[in-house]
Amino acid sequence: MAQGCENWWRDGIFYQIYPRSFQDSDGDGVGDLAGIHRRLPYVKSLGVNAIWLSPIFASPMADFGYDISDYTGIDPLFGTMEDFDALLAAAHDNGLKLILDLVPNHTSDRHPWFVESRSSRDNPKRDWYIWRDPGADGSEPNNWLSEFGGSAWAYDETTGQYYYHAFLAQQPDLNWRNPEVRAAIYDVMRFWLEKGVDGFRVDVIWHLIKDAEFRDNPPNPHYVEGRPPNEKILTQYSTDQPEVHDVIAEMRHLTNAYDARVLIGEIYLPLHRLMAYYGNDLTGAQMPFNFALLSTFWSARSIEKIVEDYEKALPKGAWPNWVLGNHDRPRVASRVGPEQARVAAMLLLTLRGTPTLYYGDEIGMHQVAIAPDDVRDPFEKNVPGIGVGRDGCRTPMQWDSSPAGGFSGTRPWLPLPEDHIHENVANFEADARSILNLYRRLIALRKACPPLVSGDYVPISAQGDLLLYRRQFEGKAVIVALNLGPEPIAVTTSAIRFGSEILISTFLDREGERLEGVLDLRGNEGVLVVPPH
């Protein structure tokens, strides 16, 4: 790789696998490690460099693995430690890095630490969690709300105090102001790093430290009716406290003791707050996830602004990254529509910074409608009917047109959409111009083209639905022209010189075309252009 192995995560492309939904190998309708292992050749064929696995650890599955009861054990649903070791070895043999999900903010309420903590007020682990006395009238200690609906405080009869849970009541928050908690989680990190995992995606990293005084959060003056109820108050005191950066610096210090590992932070914050997660002198996360594209209005001007603001805000030396989808947000193909999904792919793979792909986006999987009886997501169950459910973006990978899509031999834990009989890997492999092959071509081009990996991002002025930029590196340049709308656009800019050549179109039908001054873009088309030699 161009920049040597320490920097593999800069040059690389990440692929997120939601383990429950990638491949079932034992016929229980839920994906597992052996299934992922079996599908490694496919992952490799995409050309990505690293896999991030959502949690695979022992868990009662109240939040599908984000409620952990043993940080160093594999949940039997996913397999055994032998399965994990085999997967890790096979990934490495195939030149793929493997990133695990670290969930340090909260455990399961069945974790032995919490069982002890709740057993009595003077248990040595009492302070490992966040316990507070009720208000004078027995009410909650403050007005903090759970992200999944209702108060963030659960009353415990046995000891007469409330404990804090930013998510489900089955996910009590650890007290990161307690040094023993830090040491315990750092041991967990060392356990996996010693095994050879290549880093962590750290769950809700901006939540780790809460206000020392537990002050009430202020109301949100911009709350929009119909949005989730927790948005009625801001999270000023419950998240993003300055001391969190000391914790992250400790985590980074720990991973730095190992070769070439990466820390990715899950952070939903406005731009200027997000940037702080690179840490003082870049001693924080190498990749604080940039989720700006997950919620943007899909227009050329909005995206241009997002990229410009992000590029400007980056601290000196900080490496950018981009995300189009994950297991918490609606599928990109549904947010932008199937035509624009191809343009989105070109955008993701040509912006400056490390791209993270969400499994299934490369075959244009859309949000799947979930019947009320099929709802599994606790968020949807707690806050029903307003569209917060995450099941629709977590459905089984569509491998082929068989009833369970090649995912499982039995009824999968979540349904596949009917159109999976057309929209699947097997069909798209056979179709030279499918979105799957577009992803593969874009990834291959990116890897072979230093301007796309390491080049500067230079915006080129454009109007309407046209998004135009140049990636430039050591005298070489690639021009990216994206039509974010359905109407054709004639692009006339001095940036596209006579005799320039089309490297690729999102329709995969114009490779090698020479341009004579004007670039005619069809509706919903993106192209990469190289200047004449």
- Binding to ligand NOJ (CB under 6 A) within 198-237 occurs at 203-204
User: Which two structure tokens, joined as six digits, stand for 501?
Assistant: 């050549």
66 forms part of the interface with ligand NOJ (CB under 6 A): yes
Write the CA distances from 283 to 87, 153, 179, 206, 532, integer angstroms. Answer: 31, 33, 20, 15, 42
Active-site residue, from 67, 173, 203, 240: 203
Within 10 angstroms of residue 282's Cβ, the number of other Cβ atoms is: 14
Report the residue number, 310 or 407, with the smaller CB distance to Mg ion. 407
Q: How many residues bind Mg ion (CB under 5 A)?
A: 5
Nearest distance from residue 530's CB to ligand NOJ, in Å? 38
Applying CB under 5 A, among 1, 7, 26, 299 the residue interacting with Mg ion is 26
304 forms part of the interface with Mg ion (CB under 5 A): no
Sheet of 153-156: strand order equals 131-132, 161-164, 153-156
CB under 8 A, 24+ apart: contacts of 133-138: 133/160, 133/161, 133/162, 134/160, 134/161, 134/162
Applying CB under 6 A, among 28, 156, 246, 328 the residue interacting with ligand NOJ is 328
The answer to whether 341 and 385 are in contact (CB under 8 A) is no
Nearest distance from residue 28's CB to Mg ion, in Å? 4
Write the CA distances from 378 to 265, 268, 315, 356, 371, integer angstroms. Answer: 23, 20, 37, 25, 15
Residue 397 carries which DSSP code?
Answer: P
The SS3 call for residue 300 is: helix
Nearest distance from residue 30's CB to ligand NOJ, in Å? 16
101 forms part of the interface with Mg ion (CB under 5 A): no
The torsion angles phi and psi of 382, rounded to 5 degrees, stand at -75, -35
32 binds, among ligand NOJ, Mg ion, none (CB under 5 to 8 A by kind): Mg ion
What H or E segment, with its residue span, contains residue 435? helix 435-448
User: Which two structure tokens, joined as six digits, stand for 337?
Assistant: 């529509």
Instruction: Give the length of the chain.
Output: 533
User: Which two structure tokens, joined as six digits, stand for 170?
Assistant: 């089955």
**Binding segment for Mg ion among 19-27, 44-52, 140-148, 397-405 (CB under 5 A)?**
19-27
328 binds, among ligand NOJ, Mg ion, none (CB under 5 to 8 A by kind): ligand NOJ
Based on the residue annotation, tell me whether 266 is a catalytic residue of this protein: yes
362 binds, among Mg ion, ligand NOJ, none (CB under 5 to 8 A by kind): none
30 forms part of the interface with Mg ion (CB under 5 A): yes
198 binds, among ligand NOJ, Mg ion, none (CB under 5 to 8 A by kind): none
66 binds, among ligand NOJ, Mg ion, none (CB under 5 to 8 A by kind): ligand NOJ
Based on the residue annotation, tell me whether 203 is a catalytic residue of this protein: yes
Applying CB under 5 A, among 28, 156, 400, 513 the residue interacting with Mg ion is 28
Active-site residue, from 32, 140, 198, 266: 266
Q: Rounded to whole angstroms, how far apart are CA atoms 383 and 375? A: 12
24 forms part of the interface with Mg ion (CB under 5 A): yes
Sheet of 50-53: strand order equals 287-288, 262-265, 199-202, 97-102, 50-53, 14-17, 354-358, 321-323
Q: Rounded to whole angstroms, how far apart are CA atoms 145 and 147? A: 6
Nearest distance from residue 65's CB to ligand NOJ, in Å? 9
- Binding to ligand NOJ (CB under 6 A) within 139-168 occurs at 167
24 binds, among ligand NOJ, Mg ion, none (CB under 5 to 8 A by kind): Mg ion
**Active-site positions?**
203, 266
Which parts of this chain interact with ligand NOJ (CB under 6 A)?
A: 63, 66, 103, 167, 203-204, 266, 327-328
Give the interface with Mg ion as residue ranges (CB under 5 A). Answer: 24, 26, 28, 30, 32
